[in-house]
Amino acid sequence: MHCAIALGSNLGDSLNYLESSLQELDKSPYIEVVLCSKWYKTKAVGGPRQPDYLNGCAILNVNLSPKELLHKLQAVEEQFGRVRDIHWGPRTLDLDLLLYGDVIVDCPDLQIPHPRMKERDFVLLPLNEIASEWIEPLSGKTIRELLGCLSLKNC
């Protein structure tokens, strides 16, 4: 199953954390990193005042359920020093599961598609770079169309 993840970091050696986390995922059983966007420097959204982020997206080929993949992503975050003490606070590594094929999941601990991805240029811009024709299953729009809607703010 192809899935899309967003990666972000704004503490410590962000570039190293992002690239090393992809290597760690690629070494994991049942996960292959297929594509990765370039890294984008972006302002923090929400939360306290904090350093700028490096953000990007990756496409993975996985043989895991969505919840198994979520747990793996959280384990990698912890491996790279992620601490969850401030909502939308600074972090060494943030890995978000955006899309899992055309699957829709709505559980308390996991929502796919990611519920805020359509509002975030720091997600849609790098995702468009590597998966512009992927159809977001709730809206029926491609990633390219969602990015256009975000810039026009009228969709």
Query: Is residue 105 over pLDDT 90?
Result: yes
> Residue 33: which domain range?
2-116
Task: Report the first-to-last Cα separation within the chain, whole angstroms.
Answer: 29
Whether residue 91 lies in the annotated active site:
yes
Phi and psi, residue 5, nearest 5°: -125, 155
Confirm whether 23 is domain-assigned. yes
Mean pLDDT of the chain: 92
140 falls within a domain: no
Tell me how far apart the alpha carbons of residues 25 and 17 are, in angstroms, rounded to a whole number.
12
CB 132 within 8 A of CB 142: yes
pTM for the full model? 0.93
To the query of whether residue 13 is one of the catalytic residues in this protein, the response is no
Q: Is 94 a catalytic residue?
A: yes
The total number of structural domains in the chain stands at 1
Domain presence at residue 144:
no
SS3 assignment, position 9: strand
Tokens at 32, concatenated: 């292959």
Say which of 13, 49, 84, 96 is annotated catalytic: 96
We report the CATH number of the domain holding residue 41 as: 3.30.70.560
- pLDDT tens digits, residue range 13-62? 999 999 999 999 999 999 999 999 999 999 887 766 788 999 999 999 99
Point out the catalytic residue in the list 91, 102, 116, 120. Answer: 91
Assess whether 96 carries a catalytic annotation: yes
